Amino acid sequence: MWFPVIIVSTCILALQEVTAAALASDPAVLLLQEYVQINTTSNNNLTPAVAFWKKLADAEGLPFNVVELNQGYPIVVIKWAGSNSSISSIMLNSHMDVVPAKQEDGWKFPPFSAHIENGVMYGRGTQDMKSVSIQYYEALRRLKANGVTLLRDVYMTLMPDEELGAEKGMIPFLQSEEFAKLNVGVELDEGTSYDIPSIPLFYQDKVVWQIEVTCHGVAAHGSTFPPNSATATGKCANVINRFLKFRDEEYAKYTKAGITDAGPYTSVNLNRINGGVANNVIPASVSLTFDIRLGTSVNEEEFEARINKWIAKAGDNITLTYINKNHQSPATVISDSNPFWKAFSSAAAKINLPIMPMVPPGSTDARHVRRAGYPAFGFSPMPNTPFLLHSVNERLDIEVFLKGIPIYQSIIESLASIPAADVADNLSSYLIYTAD
Ligand SMILES: *[C@@H]1O[C@H](CO)[C@@H](O)[C@H](O)[C@H]1NC(C)=O
Ligand SMILES: *[C@@H]1O[C@H](CO)[C@@H](O)[C@H](O)[C@H]1NC(C)=O
Ligand SMILES: *[C@@H]1O[C@H](CO)[C@@H](O)[C@H](O)[C@H]1NC(C)=O
Ligand SMILES: *[C@@H]1O[C@H](CO)[C@@H](O)[C@H](O)[C@H]1NC(C)=O
Ligand SMILES: [Zn+2]
């Protein structure tokens, strides 16, 4: 009785091994490995990454352009021509840069090795977001190989500097002549992994404000006893208490909002406290750094006035500096009145792909694109995948990665086939400002 059981399980095991080996040697997987192995940590020299994309564009005979608006920060543009270049195009954006990764932080395999173990590829950028860049490329390559003619031009754009805020990437690119020439109708950008069967689809991003509050007070010997209202620490304690009170109010909104909607609350974290020169000296100044992600309906002017009031009430001689102050960006319309939404969601429905429209807690380059007046969606097809963006042992199941390619084939074909007459000249009609 045990004999057949053994045979069956051995066969299954052998089959799994064969399948895993076949998946690992899929050309798309090899491409992703090669790309992950290029260390594109933000501010690194991106020449090898540009060369990688040049090679892929050349292999398909595609027009390849490098736009360098800031020296050392190349933006790659690859054109997949449609049949009518006078109609607005589909921009498939991804960023080349990744956040730093060090083996000693606890990586199972070197973070730029792209090592595959048990069908899972380990490496910085496997989720954020080199997988998506390769999926775009492979999807377009297969559509072309299958003789599918797209109506609209499709551009792959590959950005530097996303992880550091896009000042040398997407932000100047949107102002450039090269961008204007693309005649973009809609942009796709990154989404996220989640360990649920549905795939998040971002239609709006929150914006970041980072502030430094510095409290000045009397500097004196540690044995003296000035009132709290005169010391830097006393004043900063008031600031902290006021911000944490606000934080509690927003936290209550957060607990009600659920994971699919980070729009209703403003997150606040006190991430740095600096001050003090010696154990027996009352410090002349103390500074606090807060990282704030504005709720999508927060009016910027009102919120700034509120912060000013809290600081004024906390004491005299407190200064406020903005380290980062992005503007609110609109939401992309997610109803069938937006032909791009209609094309995206109907393509997903056709292949039984569960998508979950949401506002994420963080932000992507798409916020700049929407603010510039273009509808944009954030989407990374990584269902049932633990969230490991920016984490140690960032990794992606290669089966999930490979399944993303036909998903993009469907979505890209649908978006690039929207008839010219279905899209309004004024793309702002597909955006809503929720903060006014
Ligand atoms: C990757 O680049 C970063 C930033 O330049 C560097 O600190 C790191 O050592 C590099 N990692 C490897 C494995 O070369
Ligand atoms: C404010 O702090 C600065 C720097 O410590 C100090 O020079 C100034 O006299 C202070 N002003 C008041 C009104 O306390
Ligand atoms: C391309 O689309 C434009 C706008 O709809 C149309 O006027 C033009 O005739 C089309 N060109 C071709 C070659 O189909
Ligand atoms: C485009 O549409 C927006 C919102 O629908 C409107 O505010 C704006 O005035 C329009 N622009 C033009 C040039 O028609
Ligand atoms: Zn990213």
The reply to whether ligand 4 has any atom less than 6 angstroms from the CB of 436 is: no
3-state SS string for 88-108: CEEEEEEECCECCCCHHHCCC
CA nearest neighbour of 200 among 372, 9, 364: 364
The pLDDT value recorded for residue 109 is 98
CB 375 within 8 A of CB 187: yes
What does the pLDDT look like over 84-130, one tens digit per residue? 999 999 999 999 999 999 999 999 999 999 999 999 999 999 999 99
Residues 296-325, buried b or exposed e (16+ Cβ, 10 A)? bebeeeebeeebeebbeebbeebeeeeeee
- Indicate the pairing of strand 207-216 with strand 154-159: unpaired
Q: Which ligand lies nearest to the CA atom of residue 126 in the structure?
A: 5
Band of pLDDT at residue 18, cut at 50, 70 and 90: low
pLDDT-derived band at 258, boundaries 50, 70, 90: confident
Q: Which domains does the chain have, with CATH numbers?
A: 6-204+329-432 (3.40.630.10), 207-325 (3.30.70.360)
Between CA 332 and CA 319 the distance in angstroms is 37
Mean pLDDT (the chain, rounded): 95
- Clarify whether 162 is annotated catalytic: yes
Summarised one tens digit per residue, pLDDT across range 334-351 is 999 999 999 999 999 999
DSSP code string of 230-291: GSHHHHHHHHHHHHHHHHHHHHHHHHHH-TTB-TT--EEEEEEEEE-S-TTEE-SEEEEEEE
Whole-number pLDDT of residue 36: 98
Instruction: Provide the phi-psi class of 147: left if phi over 0, else alpha when psi is between -120 and 50, else beta.
Output: left
Burial (CB < 10 A; 0-12, 13-18, 19+), residue 251, is: middle
pLDDT in tens, 401-418: 999 999 999 999 999 999
Q: What confidence tier does 260 reach under pLDDT thresholds 50, 70, 90?
A: confident
Q: Which of 138, 153, 161, 162 is catalytic?
A: 162
- Probe ligand 2: pick from 213, 214, 216, max atoms within 8 Å of CB? 216
Pocket test for ligand 1, best of 38, 39, 124 (most atoms within 8 A of CB): 39
